Structures are given as C-alpha cells and as structure tokens.
Amino acid sequence: MNTLLIYPEWPDTYWSFKHALPFEGKCSAYPPLGLLTVASMLPAHWNKRLVDTNVRRLTDADLRWADVAMLSGMLVHKQDLQNLLKRCRARGLRTVLGGPITSGVADIREHADHVVVGEAEDLVAELVQDLENGTAKPLYTASNLPDLSRTPLPDLSLVDLKKYSSTAIQFSRGCPFNCEFCDIIEIYGRRPRTKLPEQVVAELEQLYERKWRGSVFLVDDNFIGNKKKVKELLPVLAEWNARRGHPFTFFTEASLNLADDDELLRMMKAAGFIRVFLGIETPVEASLKEAQKMQNTRRSLLDSVRRIQNYGMEVMAGFIVGFDNDPEDIFERQVAFIQESAIPLAMVGLLQALPGTQLYRRLLKEGRLIQDGDGDNFDCNLNFVPKMDAQRLVEGYRSILKRIYDQDNYYERARSFLARYRPEYHPQRVFSDYRALVRSFIKQGVFSRGRSSYWKFIFDAATRYRHAFGTAITLAVMGYHFQKITERVCQSDYIPQLPVSELEPLADS
C-alpha cells in the first residue's frame, strides 16, 4: 500500500519562526515528529512518503502515487488541514486524520474518511488491518492512554533533517497540573507517562548517526511533570552527550516549579539544556488563581526566572491577558514584569477558550462563548466576551506587543539576560550559523529601520558578551521575527462579535 503522510503548514505566528528561518536557510523549525512516529508503526511492506508542506508543496504526482493519505495536525492547523483533505478527496484518495486536533474539534472529522481520536500506539494495528481488508471504519477512538515504553523510534528516513532549524524527541506526555485554559491535560491526562532512558538514548543515537548536530527540542508539554523519572533520565543524557563530545544542546517546556529544585537545575545544565519555555501567564495573583494555575502563586515569579537563568538556561515564556480578574493596569504590569525579568522571547497572547477545556465549558455555560478557539491567540480575534471592554482589551494587548518588541526595549532585555547567561555548553558552531550572521548583518544592519539599535547590540555582544556571541546573534534574528509578527498583529482589525447560544452545534464540539 502506498501511504502518503502529509503535514500541514504552520500559520504565521510567533511559534512558526517563519521570519527567522530564512536567516539560517531553513524551511521549518522542527520535523513532524508525530507523523514520523506513526510511520514506524505501519507495516514494513507499505511504501511510505512524507510531505511536510512547510518544506515542499504537495504535488498532484504525490496524490496519484498514493493509495491512502494520512494527515495529522494541531488545532492551529485546522484551515490548512481542511484544504488538504478537500484536495485529497477531489482526487478520490482515501484519507485518515489524526493528531491532537481530532480530540477537541468534532467538525474537522467530517472532512476525512477515517478519523483517529487519541494516541496512536493502541490504534494503528487495527486501522492498518482494516485498511488492507477494505473494512476501515469512520472512527477509531483510543480507550486508554498508552504506555510510552512501546513507542517506536521515529522513521527519520522520510525527512531531510537539513531543512529544519532544530529536531525533536519526546520523553513524556501529560501534565500533573489543572490549568483551566489548557487542553493538554484533557488530551493526554494529568498523570505524566514517560519513555525509558534507553529509548531516549536510542533516539539520540539515531539523530547522531544521521549527522545531526545542534539543538534538540524535547517537545514534552511539561518536561518535569514526573520529576522522579526526569532525574533518572538526566544523568544518562549527560553521560551520552559527554561521551559523544556534546553534539547536542537541549531545550524544552516546563512548569515554574522547576526553579524550586536546585538538584534538577544542576542536572539539566550538566546534560546540556540551554533554554526552557515557561508558562508564566500573568504577574496578577488573582488571575493565576482564576486560571487554577496555583503552582505559579506559591513562589516569586521574578526570583524563579532569575534562578533558572543563573543555571545557564535562557527563559522563554508565555503570557496571557484577558482573564476576568485582570486589573485595569494589567498591560503596564505585564510590560514591567517582562522587562524586569530579562526574558527576550516573551510570547504574549489573548486568552482563548480552546474546545474541550474547562474554560470552554465554563464560558459556554455562562453564555459568553463567541466561537471555537482556533489555537492562534495572537490574531486579536477574541472567542469569548471578556469582563474588560473588548476593544480596550485588544488595544491594551497590542500596546504590550508594541512596547516589548520596540527594538530598544527588546535589546535591553537581551543584554540583561546575556549578562547573567553562563551555559555549561554552547551550541556547536556550524556553517548555517555563519550564514545567519552575514544575513543578519545585511538584513538588520543595512536595511532595517532600527539598524542603529541593532549595531549597538552587536557591538555589545562582541565586547561585553563575547562568551555568548552566538546566542546574541540568535536573539537578534529571533527579535526580527517577533517584530514582524507584532507589526502584522497591530495592523489587523478587531471586529466585536456576539456570543453563541448554548443550544447551537458549538456545544457538541
């Protein structure tokens, strides 16, 4: 059976890094790890071809070749997935749709012939048999959360790693916390499940043998959800990385309680972690309590960020405005915190009620839901009626972005971070780094409106922060991406909408 695996295109958001990738000569941030893992679960006698539409376009020749198309994506991919499915169906090609999107969005299911809801480990064998027998069902639903010790290595033969800025592996699924707005706990559960350390080493070996060198993203939504298992993994990770001459640096996502555990921080630094994404959300305690993000109320947010930075890790962070308990000065407080914490890459979004979340159910019950969230909380399209005046909320949100990505403010944060940044290992320098440097000099230093701020930063990086010059260039390039997205967000129109009735079809999604 000729199986075409298709991954949709990332929309232009802070997370896509589309404006930064050309500096490196890359096409996408990460390869589609989910589809690559599913590919390894398919029979060896099936012919497989993967098309990541972030890397190359899907051609009619691809569709003619295939007997079945398998697609996967997240909520933010909904529109592109619908277009891809429509194109496959127009050619009479059978389609199978899976990924996180099918767990929360019911209406996407009508666009595919066969839909998989839940994690693939316990479903693929039955799906394969039914496809071969011509008896495939419209819907396959996982009855439990699988043991990750059975998850195979991703099939990296299907991708060209040189097209990606980083690569990815997964250690765990699930998160022990209970944030009201989060869909991760609804899809993957609150009991973190992990792979065995030897599985992770096998994935690293596979990457190493394929000549990958550089950054590896551990894509866990909360890497430290099971601290006991993480502490079993990290010494193995550190030993492997040292034995191989430190070919990889790592980054991941974690909860703020990482800052409480000095042993864990030391172990992550020794293993080669140089960046971590934190969900800080807001400096307003009442809003954190509203969101049931109690883990962020039990410690100083600012001290926590600085402690992690002092262990040689850059902090990226997510922030949200639009909580019911946000005060009138929330916009000024967010900007002040972001500047003081020296977090260069601060992803600020409007609160969004994602399908399947506690927040979605609450707002639907309160009659405040406008439409399904699409996963893009940067586009100024509120999907619920906020307590604050909606126009004021959107304008205040834009004011945050304009201020934190003003070039002088951005470079000030970057300098403050670099002054305390002492990683255990720096990323290995490769040709693409030097190409990015030259392109940065030309694009940001010659043609940018903020070139004077840029050259002051570059001068400081070359003199005061020589120990982290490569990181400084990366921050300059990433800043360019964030500034471009900010410009687009601040130019879009906001159109107020009315809430839906609890009786409308939205309630069933």
pLDDT, residue 491, reads: 84
What is the full DSSP assignment across 412-457? HHHHHHHHH---SSPPPP-HHHHHHHHHHHHHHHTS-TTHHHHHHH
Residue 200 · residue 239 · CB < 8 Å: no
Burial of 234 (0-12, 13-18, 19+ CB in 10 A): buried
What is the residue-level pLDDT of the chain in tens, covering all 509 positions?
999 999 999 999 888 999 999 999 999 999 999 999 999 999 999 999 999 999 999 999 999 999 999 999 999 999 999 999 999 999 999 999 999 999 988 888 899 999 999 999 999 999 999 999 999 999 999 999 999 999 999 999 999 999 999 999 999 999 999 999 999 999 999 999 999 999 999 999 999 999 999 999 999 999 999 999 999 999 999 999 999 999 999 999 999 999 999 999 999 999 999 999 999 999 999 999 999 999 999 999 999 999 999 999 999 999 999 999 999 999 999 999 999 999 999 999 999 999 999 999 999 999 999 988 888 877 788 999 999 999 999 999 999 999 999 999 999 999 999 999 988 766 655 445 778 889 999 999 998 888 999 999 999 999 999 999 999 999 999 999 999 999 988 886 666 666 765 434 344 43
What is the torsion angle, in degrees rounded to the nearest 10, for the CA atoms of residue 200, residue 202, residue 205 and residue 206? Answer: -110
Tokens at 259, concatenated: 């800052």
How much is the pLDDT for 494?
62
Residue 67 phi, psi dihedral angles, 5° rounding: -95, -30
Integer Cα distance of 309 and 329 in angstroms: 27
Per-residue burial over 449-483, b if 16 or more Cβ lie within 10 Å, else e, is: ebbebbeebbebbeeebeebbbbbbbbbbbbbbbb
Q: What is the pTM of this model?
A: 0.93
Per-residue model confidence (pLDDT) at position 427: 60
Which pLDDT belongs to residue 447? 81
Domain 166-418 in this protein, CATH class? alpha beta
In this structure, how many other beta carbons lie within 10 angstroms of the beta carbon of residue 100? 23
Q: Which CATH number fits domain 2-141: 3.40.630.30, 3.40.50.280, 1.10.3720.10, 3.40.50.720?
A: 3.40.50.280
- Neighbouring CB atoms inside 10 A of 384's CB total 24
Q: Residue 373 and residue 494: Cα distance in Å, rounded?
A: 16
pLDDT at 373: 83
pLDDT of residue 504: 45
Tokens of 310: 């002092």
Q: Parallel, antiparallel, or unpaired for β 214-218 and 193-194?
A: unpaired
